Amino acid sequence: MNDPHLLGPGLLPTPFTAAEIRDATGRGKTIRIRIDLPDGTSSSRVNRFSETDAEGATLERWSLDDGSDLSANRVTWLELQQHAAFDAETTSVSTESLSIPLGEVECLRYDTEDGTFWFSIAHPGMPVQYESGDMRTTVVGIEYD
């Protein structure tokens, strides 16, 4: 059986397939993110998907603090899925309930050598929280076109 969550040998199953990410993004999705920095300050960023189709979308990113860092590039749903393809030997997976601005969310938690990623089962796509060292990135809002 071919499991679309498994992208290759030695990798753990990803939390979502490319098709699940595509279906959750629909015609477009805007994700608001807070980044807590080691010095105690925070910044805000936005990721917006537009021009979605069966293969991918245009992903725009910018800072809410000063409007800088606007970038736009084409991504495929498979590329987004690949971001969550972690090494089976160095990563552990568990389930955890997480309280974030989106509410109480049930997550798959991936503990890796590079940090900890929480993927909300109800929100296919990027992790709703990521921690590495003293830095934390948290999704604070998701809106759909």
List the pLDDT tens digit at each of the 145 positions of the chain: 589 999 999 999 999 999 999 999 987 899 999 999 999 999 999 999 999 999 999 999 999 887 677 889 999 999 999 999 999 999 999 999 999 999 999 999 999 999 999 999 999 999 999 999 999 999 999 998 8
Structural domain contains residue 5: no
Structural domain contains residue 1: no
Quote the pLDDT of residue 1.
52
Structural domain contains residue 109: yes
Q: What angle do CA 86, 47, 92 make, to 5 degrees?
A: 20
Structural domain contains residue 3: no
Structural domain contains residue 4: no
Neighbours of 130 (CB within 10 A): 20
Total structural domains within the chain = 1
Structural domain contains residue 34: yes
Angstrom distance (rounded) from CA 82 to CA 17: 9
pTM of the model: 0.94
Chain centroid offset of residue 86 CA: 14
Structure tokens at 91: 């990563």
User: 81: domain range?
Assistant: 18-144
